[in-house]
Amino acid sequence: MSSSYGIDMGTNNLKIYSSSNGEIVNVKNTIAIVDKDQMYAYGDDAYSMYEKAPESIAVSFPIVSGVIADFDNMQTMLFEVLEKKAKARMKGADIVVAVPTDITEVEKKAFYDMFAKSKTKPHSVMLCEKPLADALGMDLDITEPTGIMVVDFGADTTEISVISLGGLVLTELLPFGGNHLDDAIVTHMKRKFNLLIGRKTACQLKENIGSAIPGREDVMTIVGRDVVSGLPIEMEVKSSTVYDGIKDELANLCNSIKMILEKVPPELAKDIVHSGIYLTGGSAGIADLSTLFTEVTNIKVNISEHMGHTSVLGLAKVLSDSKYKRFGYGMKTRIFK
């Protein structure tokens, strides 16, 4: 029996599901390059160098805003992770890759070509729309004539989709994600306290003491550089400060969700009010985010317990369950005879 793999290339994390052992490999989608084209490190090792590397080492993210920005290095890293971390046997394997819906056919083909034009000779390569994979990963039956609203809050993008009868009724890919919240915190700390901090520190503030609604009372000590003196200083940051930094960005996201809801056909809107909005994605773990969405929409919000892995869990179902196989589609059904 041939192996099969479900692959979700996210902006921040690369997730790979292997049918042979049922396990999910999850590594940072980061590469460190020396001499312009030599891979020095990848994954978690490369991410640990982010904002710390000398000029001779370029640390970058090969996926930007949900699409492949650096094809060659992404391909090199992907097959390294498949071979060494996932212990994958790619020859003759069936592969399904999650892709954002609201991107061009050329951008989708890049995900397909990552495998189809490689030397590994897989049996088949299929693509699956990410919102459908997310819904399947949250154990929702998307084949029913029932409206399901999925909000995938990622690192660079947020994909808001309404699904019914196994198809996408509405979908919108917003150029907004958790990284934008990190940038907002960096800007706020500089403007209010004359303190320069890195994006990693901002991310830690967001995850550890951040909140989508006011009222949280936690404190975290960070180190940054004072803009005036130019010296490193230690400072205690309150949850209220982090909230002040991200509240405007979150308000924009809420407005986008409301605009999508206004476009939903009435019968599907009735289903969404009844079942609630399903929230997933790597950035969905901000405290009280579901409470904020409920306040704005008056609809309950269900947060996935596997929020960082729902799409790859859905891909596993596409590979293993004949009921959902049709959600994977290929540019050609069989590539190599």
Residues 157-195 have pLDDT tens digits of 999 999 999 999 999 999 999 999 999 999 999 999 999
Task: Tell me, yes or no, whether 169 and 68 share the same domain.
Answer: no
Is residue 121 over pLDDT 90? no
Task: Tell me, yes or no, whether 186 and 318 share the same domain.
Answer: no
- Report the CATH number that the domain containing residue 119 is assigned in CATH: 3.30.420.40
Task: Tell me, yes or no, whether 232 and 96 share the same domain.
Answer: no
Task: Tell me, yes or no, whether 124 and 188 share the same domain.
Answer: no
Instruction: Tell me the per-residue pLDDT of 316-329, one tens digit each, with 9 for 90 and over.
Output: 999 999 999 999 99
Task: Tell me, yes or no, whether 226 and 260 share the same domain.
Answer: no
Pick from 226, 246, 266: which residue ends a domain?
Answer: 246
Query: Is residue 53 in a domain?
Result: no
313 band by pLDDT with thresholds 50, 70 and 90: very high
Task: Tell me, yes or no, whether 155 and 184 share the same domain.
Answer: no
Is residue 58 over pLDDT 80? yes
Query: Is residue 52 in a domain?
Result: no
118 band by pLDDT with thresholds 50, 70 and 90: confident
For the segment 67-87, the average pLDDT, to the nearest whole number, is 93
Instruction: Tell me the per-residue pLDDT of 270-303, one tens digit each, with 9 for 90 and over.
Output: 999 999 999 999 999 999 999 999 999 999 999 9
36 band by pLDDT with thresholds 50, 70 and 90: confident
Tell me the percentage of the chain whose pLDDT exceeds 90: 89
The per-residue pLDDT for 119 is 87
Pick from 246, 264, 294: which residue ends a domain?
Answer: 246
Query: Is residue 228 in a domain?
Result: yes
Task: Tell me, yes or no, whether 101 and 80 share the same domain.
Answer: yes
Task: Tell me, yes or no, whether 17 and 87 share the same domain.
Answer: yes
68 band by pLDDT with thresholds 50, 70 and 90: very high
Query: Is residue 95 in a domain?
Result: yes
For the segment 84-103, the average pLDDT, to the nearest whole number, is 92
Considering the entire predicted model, what is its pTM? 0.93
Is residue 47 over pLDDT 50? yes
Instruction: Tell me the per-residue pLDDT of 233-252, one tens digit each, with 9 for 90 and over.
Output: 999 999 999 999 999 999 99
Q: Which residues pair with 124 in a beta bridge?
A: 94
Task: Tell me, yes or no, whether 100 and 157 share the same domain.
Answer: no
Residues whose CB falls within 8 Å of the CB of residue 209, separated by 6 or more in sequence, listed in order: 216, 218, 219, 220, 237, 238, 239, 242
The number of distinct structural domains making up the chain is 3
Task: Tell me, yes or no, whether 155 and 282 share the same domain.
Answer: yes
Task: Tell me, yes or no, whether 197 and 322 share the same domain.
Answer: no
Q: Scanning the structure block, which residue is given the tokens 């590994």?
A: 120
**What is the longest distance spanned by two Cα atoms in the chain?**
67
331 band by pLDDT with thresholds 50, 70 and 90: confident
Query: Is residue 74 in a domain?
Result: yes
Query: Is residue 101 in a domain?
Result: yes
Is residue 19 over pLDDT 70? yes
The per-residue pLDDT for 333 is 41
For the segment 143-159, the average pLDDT, to the nearest whole number, is 95
For the segment 128-157, the average pLDDT, to the nearest whole number, is 95
CA distance 233 to 204: 17
Task: Tell me, yes or no, whether 215 and 191 share the same domain.
Answer: yes
Query: Is residue 48 in a domain?
Result: no
Query: Is residue 76 in a domain?
Result: yes
Domain range for 284 = 134-176+251-303
332 band by pLDDT with thresholds 50, 70 and 90: low
Is residue 334 over pLDDT 70? no
- Report the CATH number that the domain containing residue 211 is assigned in CATH: 3.90.640.10
